[in-house]
A and B are shown apart, each in its own frame.
Chain A
C-alpha cells in the first residue's frame, strides 16, 4: 500500500516536471516578447532592455529553465509580473476560497445526484426519470459560464434572493456552487441510472429479487454500490474539466479563488502566475486522482492493490 502510494507520488512529480517543461517550452517557442509586452507599446528600447535584465529574460533558455526548475523544487514559483509578489503566496492566499467552493459543489452534487439516479432507475420511465434525462442532456450542453449568468440574472438581479457576487457567507456560496453542482448532479445521476440498469439482470440482483426484497432495497443495497464504482472512475477522468468549470464560475461570481486569479492573470499577461496556476492545478488534479483511486480500492476489494 505504502509502495503504491509512493509510486503514485513519483508519477505526480514526473507529471509536474513534464508540465513545467511543456509550459516553459511553449513560452520560448511563442513569438511574444514578455519584456516588451509588459512595458507597453510606447516604452523606450532602453527601459524594455532594463526590464528584460531585471526579469532575467536575457540569459540563455536552458539557464533560465534550470533556475526555474531549481526554484520549483524548493516550492518557489517565481514572482507575479502584475502583483510584484511571489506566485506561491498568491496561490496560498486564494486556495482556501477555491477549496471551500469545490467541497460545497462536491457535497451538493452527491446529495442531489445519487438520489436522482436511484429514483430514476427504480421508477424507470416515470416523471422523475424523464425529467432527469432531459435535464441531463441540457446540463451537459450548456456552457458553465452561461448557466452561471442565467442563475445570476434570475436569482440575484430579478428575485434579489442572493448577492450578485463576491466572497462571504453561505448566501454568497450558494449560486456559484449550484452553477457547477446542478449539471454535475444531473449528468452523474444519468450515468448512475444506466449503470444500475445494466446490472439489473445479473445473478446477484435476481437473487435479491427472488428472496423477496423490494425494488428500493435492491437498488439501494445491491445495485448502487456497484454502479458507484464506475462513477468514481469517471470522476477521475472529469477532474480537469471540473476545474475549468470551477475557474469560469469563480470569474463570473467574483469568487476570489485560484481559478479567477488564473483567468485574470491571462488577461494581464502575467505569465509566471499562469504557469504557477498550471502547475498548482496539475498538483491538485494529481492528488485528487490518487484519492479517487484509493477510495476505489477501498470500496472494491477486487482491485485492492498489493504492496
Chain B
C-alpha cells in the first residue's frame, strides 16, 4: 500500500517543481491504492468477466426468494413428472426441468446457490481469520511459538483431511454451522505459511525499524505497519481459498453428509440426481456446472487480483 503512496508523494513533490519549470506538463492525477488496483485488474478481461459472473451469482443468491419461479420444495406431482413418474426435461414451464420429486430445478439451483455460497463465504472468512492469527502469531511472536505453530501446520497438512471432516460431521451431526466449521478446518495451514513468511520479511523492513526506534509499541507496529502490507495477500488468498471450501461442502453434501434436506445445496442436488443419472443427466449436470463456474470464476479473480495487487509476482 505505502509503496504506491510513497511513489505518489515523491511524484507529487517533483511534479510541483517541474510545474514551475515547465508549466505545460500534466501531473498524474492522484489515484488511491484501490483505484490503482482496479485500473490494473480491469485490464485483464478474463478476470473481469469472472468478477462479473460472481457478482451476478451473489445477486441471484441474495434475491432467490424473489427471482425463483417456484418454491424450491414444492412438488408438482401431476404436471412436474412424466407419465412414467420420471423427471421432466427442460421445457417452457420448468426452464431447467424438474427433479425426481417433480420440483423445479431452476428454483432449487437458485436456492442451492444461496446455501453453497453462504457456506463458502462464511467458512472462508473463518479460514482467513485463523490463517492470519496463526501466521501472524508464528511470524511475530518468539521462536518457540513459531516452532509449535509450524509443527501444527505440518500436522494439519499430513492428515487425510477429508476423512477427518467425515468423522467430525458424523460425530457432530450435520447442520449448517457444523458444515461451515468442518469445511474451514483444513483451509488455513497453507495461507498461514504464506502470511508467516511475508511477516518474517516485513519484520526486517526499514520502516519497522524506524517505527521501533521511535518507540512505537510492538502491538501497534503489527496492527498499523505490518498488517496493511498483508492486505494484498489476504485478498488474493481469500479468493484462492474459496474453491477448496466449496469443494469440501459439495463433497460432503454429495455423500449426504452436508446440510440436511430439504435445504437444497448444489452438492446435495447432485446426489439427488444420481438415481436418475442415466435418464436425466441434466439433474447432475446443472448443479455441477454451477459449482464449476463458481470455482473457475474464483480462480480467475484470484489470478487477476494477484497481477493487479503485486506486479512483482506477475506470472507466478
Contact = CB atoms under 8 A, between A and B. Distances in A.
A149 B173 CA distance: 27
Nearest to B252: A266
A99 interface: no
Interface in B155-213: 155, 157-164, 166-173, 186, 190
Contact of A289 (B158, B162, B270): B158
Given A30-B172, A140-B243, A240 B161 contact: yes
Q: Which size bracket describes the interface of A in this complex? A: 35 or more
A143 B167 contact: no
Contacts of B274: 149
A150 B295 CA distance: 17
A265 B169 CA distance: 12
Contacts of B22: none
Nearest to B246: A143
Given A26-B168, A266-B167, A278-B167, A240 B292 contact: no
A271 B170 contact: yes
A111 interface: no
A146 B277 CA distance: 12
Q: Secondary structure at chain A's binding surface: helix, strand, loop or mixed? A: helix
Interface string B276-316: 01100100110010011001100110000000000000011
Interface string B260-281: 0000000000100010011001
Contacts of B166: 262-263, 265-266, 274
Contact of B299 (A22, A137, A243, A251): A137
A23 interface: yes
B250 A143 contact: yes
B131 to A, nearest CB: 15
Given A137-B300, A146-B291, A282-B159, A194 B316 contact: yes
A240 B170 CA distance: 20
Q: Secondary structure at chain B's binding surface: helix, strand, loop or mixed? A: helix
A259 B300 CA distance: 31
A265 B162 CA distance: 13
Interface of A: 15, 18-19, 22-23, 26-27, 30-32, 137-138, 140-143, 145-146, 149-150, 153, 157, 194, 197, 237, 239-241, 243-244, 247-248, 251, 262-263, 265-267, 269, 271, 274-275, 277-278, 281-282, 284-286, 289
27 contacts: A15-B154, A15-B155, A15-B159, A23-B167, A27-B167, A30-B168, A30-B171, A31-B173, A138-B296, A140-B295, A141-B243, A142-B288, A142-B291, A143-B291, A145-B254, A146-B288, A146-B292, A149-B274, A240-B158, A262-B166, A265-B166, A266-B166, A266-B169, A267-B255, A274-B167, A274-B170, A278-B159
